[in-house]
Amino acid sequence: MAATHRFYTQVMGFRLVKVMAVPYEGSRDGGWARHAFYQTSEPEGPLVAFWDPHEATLEGRFRTDLSTGLGLPVWMNHLAFDAPTTEFYGQTLARWLSHGLEVTEADHDFCRSIYAMDPNGILVEFCQTLRPFSAEEVAGAERSLFDPMPPLDLPRPVIVHRPQVRS
């Protein structure tokens, strides 16, 4: 949990706002779990939460990497957060690089995103919306969602930013 806390406070810039410790339901040996809540934006933005189980029956029995732990590509399931301004986006990219992270940057046309890995093997994203969605995009969204073979968008190039060397 220490690495998770450092990452989400120092690297992501979130604020720890609440921790609860609760009995682990069904434990025979007094197991318990810690539930840590981080505020993702100010002043009272959404929360992201992480569990830290302390239960003997779980020792070594689970993985924290959401996608790769299930045999999926790392990008399949990830945590995405809003980058509200160009300045915020640039500051976040610089902060991630200064913490030694490799950062992938993608232009999705309507938004741009930066991606990095957290210490649990979970991909995190900050996304900045660049323009409003057109009426045609909104109308086509539901058709594409339920189309058994929707039209494919061509892949767009990505930029991989290598981490800055820390002395």
pLDDT by residue (tens digit) across 5-63?
999 999 999 999 999 999 999 888 899 999 999 999 988 889 999 999 999 888 888 88
What predicted TM-score, i.e. pTM, was given to this entire model? 0.90
Q: What pLDDT, on a 0 to 100 scale, did the predictor assign at position 44?
A: 86
Exposed e or buried b per residue across 122-152, where buried means at least 16 C-beta atoms within 10 angstroms of its C-beta: bbbbbbbeeeeeeeeeeeeeeeeeeeeeeee
pLDDT by residue (tens digit) across 121-148?
999 999 999 999 999 999 999 999 999 9
Instruction: Give strand pairing partners of 53.
Output: 33
Give the alpha-carbon dihedral of 88, 94, 95, 96, to 10 degrees: 110
Write down all domains in the chain, each with its CATH number in brackets: 2-56 (no CATH), 68-161 (3.30.720.110)
Residue written as tokens 């950062």?
103
Residue 126 near residue 85 (C-beta atoms within 8 A): no
Work out the angle at residue 31's Cα, subtended by the Cα atoms of residues 7 and 26, and round it to the nearest 5 degrees: 120
Query: What's the whole-number mean pLDDT along residues 82-96?
Result: 97
pLDDT by residue (tens digit) across 65-80?
989 999 999 999 999 9
In whole angstroms, what is the distance from residue 83 CA to residue 40 CA?
11
Q: What pLDDT, on a 0 to 100 scale, did the predictor assign at position 166?
A: 60
Please indicate whether residue 97 or residue 44 has the higher confidence score (pLDDT). Answer: 97
Outline where 75-134 has alpha helix (H): 86-98
Report the amino acid identity of residue 86: T
Rg of the chain, C-alpha, whole Å = 19
Cα separation values, 140 from 107, 131, 145, 148, 149, Å: 20, 17, 9, 14, 14
